[in-house]
Homo-oligomer: A and B are copies of this chain.
Amino acid sequence: MKKLLFGLLVLPFAVMAQPAADAAMIKKISDEILSNGKAYEQLYQLTKQIGGRLAGSPAFAKAVQWGRQTMEKNGAENVWLQECMVPHWVRGGADKAFVILVDGAKTSRELDVLALGNSLGNGTVNGEVLAVQDFAELERRKDEVKGKIVYYNNGFNPTNVKPFISYGEAGIYRRSGPSRAAKYGAIGVMIRSLTESTANDPHTGAMAYNDSFPKIPAIAVGPRDADAVWTLTRKSKISMAMYTNGHFLPDTIGHNVIAEIRGTEFPDEYITIGGHLDSWDVNEGASDDGTGVVHTIEIMRALQAIGYKPKHTLRFVLFANEENGLRGGTKYAAEAKAKNEKHIFALESDAGGFTPRGFSLQVSKEQMAKVQSWIPLLSPYGAFELSNDGGGADVSPLNRTFGIPVGELIPDPQRYFNLHHARSDVFENVNKRELLLGAVNMAGLIYLVDKYGL
């Protein structure tokens, strides 16, 4: 116990033992990225010249070509496309919803809504609304559900300082809410958008049906309209009409875009850095996950620009299908296993291009202590906070396949869910220096893992 305590106390000062060379190298990386970084201009291209790029869409195919060319122009030793089948969900036009009856009297208040990703729709559904706060109320009132449109009012808990916790708590309404209502005979579902934004933009995102129940249409409503609907239902009976046309086309060919800088000492050992190239269809996919894409390319560019020769082979991966299938990340890990590759670490950026605050990892205690000892080298650039809450979605199959440590950049999270899956996720809502600092902190961590292992 005494020994352990000593270890804990000494850790923050382990940096004193680090060669000053590490601090100098990270400063060199930072200076290169903050002075010559191309991430912001590349994000402009991806968001404004290509835009929304759901897996399977023509825009996604354009993004793959853009990714390959941009990596080739920015220091990759070799770039290739890794084919994988991806789902091909299409929205089928504009989603609409109206409150049409209040206590039997005709009205026509339009709500700002978006169909949930993967949901199925076939035109208009009309019905009385059963508004519930949460699943507990749904269960209590299950006998009232049949033939109605269920509205879930559950939102983010504002007292959670970290919005990702709120998203984790509320996300189940988007993913499972439709089937849980369909189980009791609901004909449609509307959820409060997963956000604390003060704007009325609705937020889409993936749902999944339980095959045991009817596949009813499902929409998210903007938060101000959600407030209005909830208030109305507290004093009146209301009916509404939902109009959606989401459907699946056959699975189609997608691609992970992969670039490498070969290792000098351990060329057959891999460190992966990545973000996902796909986005939802309703926005420019700037913060989700254009910023992760350009972080990935920027780290590669900057390490080459300063002449860094990694010991291990660095793989830079733009994943094909995070949003509604995870087929890209799954394929990457499967192929790594099939080829018997040795992977030692993987780091993702999929939480936006805001000022970095730290990393979320999935590592052993010893590995966590090692990363903690590097924090004094990284914190001058923003990253001070570590958690063991898991890496990003696209690197999780590597963790499951090989048991290797994985991680994710954690930028300041307060603005993320204002934009996430909403129309407002556009280039203009990304700040150039915040974006570049994300690449600085990720590159610093990659440098340390490459040098010291994990």
Residues of B within 8 A of A380 (CB): 161
Q: Does A401 contact B (CB under 8 A)?
A: no
Most-contacted residue by chain B among A10, A161, A163, A380 (CB, 10 A)? A161
The residue that A418 contacts in the complex, of B9, B30, B35, B431, with Cβ under 8 A, is B431
Write out the residue numbers on chain B whose beta carbons fall within 8 Å of the beta carbon of A384.
384-385
A414 touches B434 (CB 8 A): yes
**Cβ B161 vs Cβ A35 within 8 A:** no
A419 CB to nearest chain B CB (Å): 11
| A158-B35 in contact (CB<8A) | yes
Chain B residues with Cβ under 8 A from A370's Cβ? none
Q: How far is the CA of A30 from the CA of B158 in the complex (A)?
A: 10
Judged by a CB distance under 8 angstroms, whether A12 is at the interface is yes
Q: For chain A, which range describes its interface: under 10, 10 to 19, 20 to 34, or 35 or more residues?
A: 20 to 34
A355 in contact with B30 (CB, 8 Å): no
Residues of B within 8 A of A432 (CB): 196, 198
Is A34 in contact with chain B by the CB < 8 A criterion? yes
A214 located at the interface, meaning its Cβ lies under 8 Å from any Cβ of chain B in the complex: no
- A134 interface residue, CB < 8 Å from B? no
27 residue pairs A–B, Cβ–Cβ below 8 Å = A9-B9, A9-B10, A9-B13, A12-B12, A30-B159, A30-B161, A34-B158, A34-B161, A40-B198, A158-B433, A161-B381, A163-B433, A196-B432, A198-B432, A355-B355, A355-B412, A355-B414, A379-B385, A384-B384, A384-B385, A414-B431, A414-B433, A414-B434, A414-B437, A415-B431, A415-B434, A418-B431
Additional A-B contacts beyond A35-B158, A40-B198, A414-B433 (18; CB < 8 A): A9-B9, A9-B13, A12-B12, A30-B159, A30-B161, A31-B159, A34-B159, A158-B433, A161-B380, A161-B381, A163-B433, A196-B432, A196-B433, A198-B432, A355-B355, A355-B412, A384-B384, A415-B431
